[in-house]
Each structure stands twice: as structure tokens, then as C-alpha cells.
Structure 1
């Protein structure tokens, strides 16, 4: 990971600070009208559900725009909590739980699109011929749908490994591919629309999500070996 020279801070911290500074006036306005962090958390989930539905319907660019709004809410809720001094343990738990639903909704939206089109091909053979002429074989669509489901599993596993580690009292903020990176990649896939970018993006999501989960497993293994040297 690249570091901000002289401070030892990661590039993610630098980007986060810049985003927070840019959004501070908006956060102040939100605080002034009386909205609370949990309101933004729920709004972010609703945006993610709407984006997942858009992806499922094949409206990829619409889904990408809505995902941007969901991501904005995900940034704002935490910043609002800090600004209004309303950080609570339940708020952190609530935000994390709804984020998992949001992640699944986005990726399963892609899976539903490809699976539903496979079903349509099964009941309408003419669609198979049309797609074959476009270079799209049914098997290809099935593989893409499976990649989307695996990406959903991988994203949940990344979050679960961290949560389980922290339940054991082990800090586990390690790994290359966390939620912000996943959301950015989903947005890129959506704006690219139907074509090679979506399966490529899903393949990256699968590979890096599982890699990050295994990085966290290795980290926890190393820490527990230090604490419990006799464990296997």
C-alpha cells in the first residue's frame, strides 16, 4: 500500500480526508435539518435495493447512478455521526448489517439479469439464435451469473472474517479489497453496460474478495498463534 510521505498514512486515509472536507458543508446542512445517521444508513440501503433492481432489469447505467447515491449515503452517515457526536455501538452494528444487505442486493441484481435471460432463452429458442449471432452463448451467461453469485459470497466473507476476528479481540483491518473498492468497481461495471466489462469486473471482484478474506484468515491465524502457541 502506498503511503503519504512524511506521515506514514495510507492513500485511503488521504482520499477519505479529502472526501470528508469536500462533503463537510453538506453534512452541516443535513445536521441542521435534524436528520440522524441511521436515517442516512436506511436511505443508503434503499438506494442499493433500487440499484440492484435496476441491474436486474438490465438498466445498468441507471443502477450505476443510484449506486453512487448509495455510496454517498454510506460516507455521510458516519461523517454525520462524528460531527453531531452521535456515534453509538448500535449505529456501527446497524450500518454494518445494512451494508451486507446492500452488497448482496447489488451483486445479485447482476446475477438475476443473466439468470432471467437464460430462462427466457429456454422458453424462447429464437432468443438463443439471436444471442448466438451476437456471440453470446447461453453457457457464457450462466458463467457470468455464477460469477455474480460468487462475488456476493466473497464480499460477505470479507466482512464476516473481519467481524469474527474483532469478536475475538483481534484488529483485522487488513487486505487489499474492502467495501469502497468493491462499490467503485460495481459503479464502473454499471456505467460500462452490457459487454465484456461486467464479466471482467465480476471476475476481479471474486478473485480479490476471496484473496482479501484469505489475507484476513492468515492474519488472524498469525495473531492467534502468538497468543496461543500450543494451538494447531
Structure 2
């Protein structure tokens, strides 16, 4: 877990406990939140292509908030399952890819930004893959400066401000650095 999330998570959960309690009372499951989070991200991605950046930012924000709620709901009400963890990880990859694909499409006439946005997709996936592969080999690998929450925050700020080109550059660089941090961390722990 990144330093940013370690600092924000307790305050976020404290302030949203009433909402999570309400979701539980109306029988909303963590998996439903996960799926609806993806739906909101896909809608936000469509609005990126349509150059409706404020609307896109709103949908992306809601999608990411739902993604944060699913884990909190699962932990708080003992609803965590292996399938739920698996589903969340798979859906997270789609939620990473759709907005960056939309940006790639939108900026396809700018060769540099198009290429960088494709790299940001690859490096974002490599951040997740290196952690999963490391853990599959028995080494916990929750290190790095630019995990999914940081990428999502930068993306949302970039969309709201219409500086999506700068956002994808930051995401590509931050993801690449985190990927390298995880490779080196795994190397140190495995030899």
C-alpha cells in the first residue's frame, strides 16, 4: 500500500462509514460495487472521447469511489471472498485501461502523446503484474511510489483540468518507476 493511501484510507473510511453501512443494509454487495465502478469508468471514458471532460471526470471519480467502497464494505462486514478479490483485481485492470485507451484514441493525431498513453497502459499493467507474480512466488511486493490510487488521482485531475496529455506523461513515468522498484525489490528478496 502506498504512503498516500496509508495516510488517506483511515480518514476516508471514517468519513464514509455511514454510507457503507447504508449500502450493507440495502444488500449491496462488494461485487456489485466493483461492477458498477467499472460501468462508471467506461461511461467516463466515453465522455473523454467526446471531449466532455467535466462529465468524464465526474464519472471517473464515482467509479473510483465505488472501487474504494467495495473493499471497505467487504472488510467491514466480513464479506471478503477469494472470488471477490479476484474479480476486483480483474476489473481494476479494465478500469485502468479504458480511460487510457480513450485518451489514446482522442490524442491519436499527436504521435508522441499517443505513444506515451500506450506506454502508460503497459506500465500500469506491469505495476500490477509484478506484484501479482511476486506474491505468486511467495514474496509480498507492496512497494512503489505510484500505485493504482495515485494513477487514478492524476488521471482524474488531468481530465477535470483538460491537461490529459500531462496526466498520461506523469502516469507513464510514475508507473515505470514503480515497476522498476518492484523488480528490484523482488530481486533483493529472492537472492
* TM-score, normalising length: structure 1: 0.79
Matching of residue 73 in structure 1 with residue 66 in structure 2: yes
Give the superposition deviation at 1:114: 1.6
Give the superposition deviation at 1:153: 0.9
CA 55–11 in structure 1, closer or farther in 2 if over 3 Å, else same: closer
Equivalent positions of 1:63-142 (< 5 A) are 63-115=56-108, 118=109, 141-142=110-111
Q: Determine helix, strand or coil for the equivalent of 1:86.
A: coil
Match of 2:166 in 1: 200
Distance across 2 between alignment mates of 1:96 and 1:12: 17
CA 54–11 in structure 1, closer or farther in 2 if over 3 Å, else same: closer
**Alignment check: 8 A CA contact 2:116 2:169 kept:** yes
Structure with bigger gyration radius: 1
Instruction: Indicate the structure whose relative CO is greater, using CA pairs within 8 Å and at least 6 residues apart.
Output: 2
Distance across 1 between alignment mates of 2:127 and 2:152: 14
Q: Determine helix, strand or coil for the equivalent of 1:176.
A: coil
Equivalent positions of 1:20-99 (< 5 A) are 20-99=13-92
Give the superposition deviation at 1:11: 5.1
Provide the alpha-carbon RMSD of the alignment.
1.3
Equivalent positions of 1:127-206 (< 5 A) are 141-193=110-162, 197-206=163-172
How many residue pairs get aligned? The number is 190
* Deviation string, structure 1 residues 54-103 (Cα, Å, up to 9, x no partner): 11222222111111101110111011111221111111111000000110
**Alignment check: 8 A CA contact 2:5 2:149 kept:** no
**Alignment check: 8 A CA contact 1:38 1:77 kept:** yes
Distance across 1 between alignment mates of 2:76 and 2:189: 34
* Deviation string, structure 1 residues 131-167 (Cα, Å, up to 9, x no partner): xxxxxxxxxx121121111111111110000000000
Unaligned runs of 5+ in 2: none
Matching of residue 221 in structure 1 with residue 177 in structure 2: no
Distance across 1 between alignment mates of 2:40 and 2:164: 20
Question: Once superposed, which parts of structure 1, at least 4 consecutive aligned residues long, lie more than 6 Å away?
Answer: none
Give the superposition deviation at 1:210: 0.6
Distance across 2 between alignment mates of 1:163 and 1:108: 23
